[in-house]
A and B are shown apart, each in its own frame.
Chain A
Amino acid sequence: MKTSFSKRVALLGAATLISISVSALPTVAQAAAPQCTPPAAVVSCQGVTSDGAPYVMQVPGNFNGTAFIFSHGYRYNVDIPAAMPLIGGYKVTNTPQPGPLLAGNDTSVMKYMLSKGYAIFGSGFARQGWNADSGVATDVELINTFKTQFPTTKKIVAWGESLGGFMTQALAEKHPELVDASASLCVETGSIEASLNVAGDFLWGIKTFFDPTIKGGNYSAGAAGYAEAMGDLGKVFTVMGKLQKGIGIELATGKPQWPDTTPATITGSALAGIPSRSALLLVGLMAGIPTQSAHFDGTTGPGSVNSSTYTGFALAGSPALAILENGVQSAALGVLVTYDVEQQAGGAIFDNTKTDYTSRVASDAQVFNAGLSGATATGGLLAYVAASPRAAASPAALTKMRALLSHTGKINVPTIMMNSVNDAVAQGGNIEWVSQKYAAQYEAQKVANLKAGKPRGPINFLPVYVAPPAHYTKFDATGLPVTSTPAVSGTGHCNFTLKQYTTVVDLLASAATAGKFPQMGPVKSAIRKMGAIYDPNYEPDLLKFYQDQQG
């Protein structure tokens, strides 16, 4: 069995932008007025904000007064050595990005927006990494700069992806006077702590089961810390590669294949008789990583649908392979974002000393009994987890991290949030966190309005989910899974179609103009036609971090 990892891992940090060059722009911390091309079908402007963030603005000749500011997603804030698998050779870049890109750096979304008369603009931010605080400040300045430069602007729509979506929601919470509508796509919500917990739990699990030499956090300051993080990254990719190979053998022979870096406490015990795929699946469930990925649906096997081979692979093999495929992204981010935020916070930030992993997976252990090799094996693995040393955070660093920008979940302007249900980085539970808060907000607003003799008020929040089809894993003639095809819609990080982006654009423009979304009928119809779900009764699980808090 050969499984090539998703190339989208590389795209997480390697955003590049259309044909706009910023090489000549100053990058000092001093604002530079926009320098614009002469009037044309599309006027392009470039400049730098006061904090040094290069930006671009593109305004069509038929500008209709609605402008979209885009905040791009997380880009690594360190260069990655060329020899690193999957993401090697990455160089830190602050190339500005005024809109989302489709696979292959396709700019069709932005072309569509310009053709409809919308202006687009965005920066590359002054620093990369987790930069929500400074990023929102950059966006605030940029909106004002744009409105000054183009005084016919009537409405501002903010949107962004991943970390940029996080910033967008924060911007709309803190500065509703600047924003008329917003969309956060493939978004993490709440706080950096919640999102880092997913990656942190997964990374800790990989370290604990498969390679205890992975440091997994608490990196040193300066160059030593960078070297430790890069070392971890290499080890994580290496051990995931070993697991990939081992799982293939396990599924073919039924014989457990643990990586050679597995601790002796496992290889020298009865746990070694459990397939490593079961331990990997357990780690994914502990962290809340989706059990469906770009190429593994957890429901399909090779051969005849009525064969035991088909069922066996679907139930026992596919979920673990999905965790493997999703987990590469999660573990890579676990290393790089942890390193990044630790440098900002001044110490270790991941803490699982009080995490009850057994409780977390109580229900999943039943559902994924086949993949976990039965309750006895699961119990053994969980006992090992319970006995393993935990990661403790530095209280001072935790305090600093918690002081970073976070969300209240308040919806001030018409807002869309859209995630793939199987996004390894930004799970659907992120949106559910906001949905729950908005439900309370709406209820309070309704009561107040009715008391004042007013209508209840419009629905200003649309939680949208993109789900994959029930079956999508493909097999070649020899029965091996095919992993070279593009990620299926409903999987992957920020993996949306042109239709999905443009539908969101049109809904936002309409809402910005009207101050509210259209009637629910047309909204639901539009969302259904773009292949997504809008149903207030659809409720993905919250992130494990929030489930723990709710008890």
Chain B
Amino acid sequence: MQVHRSTSRRISFALAAVTALALVGTSIPANAFSPRSEVGVSGSTIKLGITVPLTGAAAPGYNKVPYAMKAYFDYVNANGGVNGRKIQLVIKDDAYSPSLAKSATNDLILKDKVFALVGTLGTANNEATTKFVNDHKVPRLFINTGFSGFANTKKYPTTFPLFPSYAMEAKIMGKYIADNFPGKKVALIYQDDDFGADALKGFAAAGTTLVAKIPYASASQSDPTVVGKWITTIVGAQADVAIMFGVSSATAAALGGAYKAGLAGKIQWILGSVGSDPTTIKALAPTAVPLLNGAIAASFLPSPADTSDEYVAQFREINAKYNNNAVFDNNVLVGMNTGMLAVQALRAAGKNLTRASLMAAISAKGASWSSAAFSPILYSGTSHVGYAGYWFGRLSASGDSTPVDGAGKYVLYTTDSGSGAVVKSAIKRPAMPEKGLPNN
């Protein structure tokens, strides 16, 4: 496969060269001997691509991520771009379908000829496109999934995960539960794929005893009978604490089902980071709001409502001017934060931007870049692990999250995806660059 692609490219280049040589007789263009430009990079532009659900049941909430990212790029472009180049973001809808993600990614790489992918969303969708991305050596930056396997540099050599892994999250959550809910019966609802496998691994590492493990197939949360079984199982297990380890549409289904079953106020809900987006939950299940209020959720970014946070404040400003002042929630924050990291990566790769130089820059310098997350970034020459920590907040009925411990202060827990200990970490976050414009 590899031979075919590289040879085929050389075939194309050979033809181009032959054609060009035939024209050389009378005049030689000034740029005839300049270095070949990288795919998706011109003298004035850098083209990036993202696949994300813009339609479908998973769209509410997630569909805000790419536009927030684009808004941040527009802001940077308005301030000179990256090394004189303006960033273009090509956004493709995958409706959260792996099949559509494959065709959309093919189009981004073959038709749109993007330089790199950034922020592509979903475990299954990123898995579905991996072979094509690998074969074409396209950098896939800061993907929107926490499956720990994506940090495997042999299997995903061009992929740079950003989120702390689900295994880390579960282990940290297990520690938090042990510290704060000792002796309580804990049930777990989890998406029955790599996402959930990571969760089981993390809870096992934390030594969490689960009175009920409730797997569900991706997308089956749309089936009321499936959700009904979740609730009856939780009730049957007499759980005091219910952990929801799935996407936000599943959380909406679970909380809606629990409300219907009269469980409001009777069970403490703890929500995983990607399943706690209040925009999505409230849109899909308005009846879930009473249970959302008081639920505990893990996060690695600051609360979007925390305007005292310098990152949140700056991104809100950009959002107001470049993103039609969209409701500033976690999705907007993720999009802008990802955009800011992408800009730093592009800057660090230098003026002679190539896919190889971009990935080398992330490995060499990514750990030092500015980012809204309280967690350190762990990129290095041997690691594609991004963030590694979470804090816990309590949600209000409006969906705002405030830190649950430390007297209103963020308390970060860090760990790894393996058997390492969970530790409370001091938060040492690089300062927001002046006006939110990276200067690395």
Chain A interface residues (CB < 8 Å from chain B): 254, 291-292, 297-299, 305-312, 314-316, 319, 363, 366-370, 372-377, 432, 435-436, 438-440, 442-443, 446, 455-456, 459, 467, 470, 519-520, 535-539, 541
Contact = CB atoms under 8 A, between A and B. Distances in A.
Contacts of A310: 56-57
Contact of A312 (B8, B127, B223): B223
Interface string B362-406: 000000000000000000000000000000000000000000000
Interface in B47-74: 55-60
Given A363-B127, A374-B191, 9 more contacts: A311-B219, A316-B217, A366-B127, A367-B124, A369-B124, A439-B3, A439-B5, A443-B7, A539-B5
Contacts of B18: 455-456
Nearest to B125: A367
Interface stretch (B29-37, B97-105, B287-295, B323-331): B97-105
B185 to A, nearest CB: 22
Contacts of A369: 124, 191-193, 217-218
Report whether over half of chain B's contact residues are helix, strand or loop; otherwise say mixed.
helix
Contact of A470 (B103, B132, B196, B216): B103
B55 A459 contact: no
A519 B19 contact: yes
B219 A536 contact: no
Nearest to B109: A537
B356 interface: no
B20 interface: no
Interface-central residue, A366, A376, A443, A541, by most chain B CB under 10 Å? A366
Given A311-B57, A315-B219, A369-B193, A459 B99 contact: no
B124 A311 contact: no
B4 to A, nearest CB: 4
A308 B218 contact: no
A297 B95 CA distance: 13
5 contacts: A305-B56, A315-B96, A375-B215, A443-B7, A536-B8
Interface string B101-142: 001101001100000000000011001101110011000000
Contacts of B132: 539
A331 to B, nearest CB: 23
Sort A-B residue pairs by CB-CB distance and give the 10 closest, nearest first: A536-B8, A374-B192, A308-B222, A374-B217, A439-B4, A370-B219, A439-B7, A311-B57, A312-B222, A369-B193
A311 B222 contact: yes
Contacts of B60: 306
A522 to B, nearest CB: 12
A308 B249 contact: yes
Contact of A367 (B128, B135, B192, B222): B128
Nearest to B98: A367
A298 B100 CA distance: 8
B225 interface: yes
Contacts of A446: 10, 14
Interface of B: 1, 3-5, 7-12, 14-15, 18-19, 55-60, 95-100, 103-104, 106, 109-110, 123-124, 127-128, 130-132, 135-136, 191-194, 196-197, 215-223, 225-226, 249
A299 B100 contact: yes
A420 to B, nearest CB: 14
Contact of B4 (A298, A367, A375, A536): A536
B218 A315 contact: yes
Contacts of B124: 366-367, 369
Contact of B99 (A299, A307, A366): A299
Contacts of B100: 299, 470
Nearest to B249: A308
A372 B193 CA distance: 10
Given A366-B124, A366-B194, A538-B106, A311 B58 contact: yes
B117 to A, nearest CB: 15
Contacts of B110: 535, 537-538
B106 to A, nearest CB: 7
A456 B99 contact: no
A538 B5 CA distance: 9
A437 to B, nearest CB: 9
A311 B220 CA distance: 10
B292 to A, nearest CB: 19
Nearest to A317: B219
B412 to A, nearest CB: 30
A109 B157 CA distance: 47
A372 B7 contact: no
A374 B56 contact: no
A377 B109 CA distance: 34
Contacts of B99: 291-292, 297-299, 319, 367
A368 B95 CA distance: 14
Contacts of A372: 217
Contacts of B98: 367-368
Contacts of B130: 363
Given A311-B222, A375-B197, A436-B3, A536 B12 contact: yes
Contacts of A519: 15, 19
Contacts of A520: 12, 15
A460 B58 CA distance: 46
B320 to A, nearest CB: 27
B383 to A, nearest CB: 23
A369 B98 CA distance: 10
Contacts of A538: 106, 110
B217 A377 contact: yes
Given A311-B56, A315-B218, A520-B15, A376 B192 contact: yes
A478 B4 CA distance: 48
Contacts of B103: 467, 470
Contacts of A316: 217, 219-220
B123 to A, nearest CB: 7
A442 B7 contact: yes
B3 A311 contact: no
Nearest to A370: B219
Contacts of B193: 366, 369, 374-375
B223 to A, nearest CB: 5
Given A305-B55, A366-B123, A367-B98, A374 B215 contact: yes
